Amino acid sequence: MRIKVIFPVSSSSLIEPQATFRQRAAASDTVVEVVSLPKGPPSIENEEGVLEAAPYVLAEAKKAQNEGFDAVTIDCTLDVGLRAAKEAISIPVVGAGEAALSIATILGERFGWILPNPDGISATLSRIAQKGYWPRMASIHSMNLHVLDLRKKDIVLEQLIEVCGKAIDDGANVIVLGCTAMGYLSADLADAIKVPVVDAGAAAIKIAEAVARCAAQPSQ
């Protein structure tokens, strides 16, 4: 099986460290190809970035089908261009946001959603409500980091532990890392806070594998 992972950003430096983690998330017989966009925002922080990146995501999704990939994932929890991509191609397309919500509500009753900074809160809340998961959300919290700073492991992990504690106090028994660039910290974070942590990018790959293996056609 071949899965194309589309990072809806133009910064290759942001996605290069993620490629290894995406391959690790896949089954042993799955080949994962990670790509960024030829144009668009260097990172997705808000709705403006979503709109700027969406046309390029759609083009990459169409290209993936032409190249013979079995499935596509969109590696951003704001699910950039997801609906358009599902309508445009016949292979499964899975967004990291929709995958994370599905897994989180299997793992626990109420989830806490953690973002790098406050800029993405409004767009995230809108999508959670649209998908019908609002009653299952305990709270949403953010750090004060730019997405491009998420590679600073010690700094990020310390802040993550702090804000996750707030979400747990709010009643969350599952944590969703609301930016896929934080996924590499999921295991260390889970060890520290003692509740399940959802890596949205990895969740998207596992669901894409399952759907593709079932030869299911996604609903439009």
CA distances from 44 to 50, 75, 83, 111, 186 (A): 6, 11, 17, 22, 20
| Domains of the chain, CATH where assigned | 2-95+202-213 (3.40.50.1860), 98-200 (3.40.50.12500)
Q: Which residues are bridge partners to 113 per DSSP?
A: 140, 176
Helix segments in 67-199, DSSP class H? 82-88, 96-107, 121-130, 153-169, 186-193
Asked if 86 contacts 93 with a C-beta cutoff of 8 angstroms, the reply is yes
Q: Which helix (H) or strand (E) holds 9?
A: none
How confident is the prediction along the chain (220 residues), in pLDDT tens digits per residue? 999 999 999 877 767 777 888 999 999 999 999 999 999 898 888 899 999 999 999 999 999 999 999 999 999 999 999 999 999 999 999 999 999 999 999 999 999 999 999 999 999 999 999 999 999 999 999 999 888 788 888 889 999 999 999 999 999 999 999 999 999 999 999 999 999 999 999 999 999 999 998 865 555 5
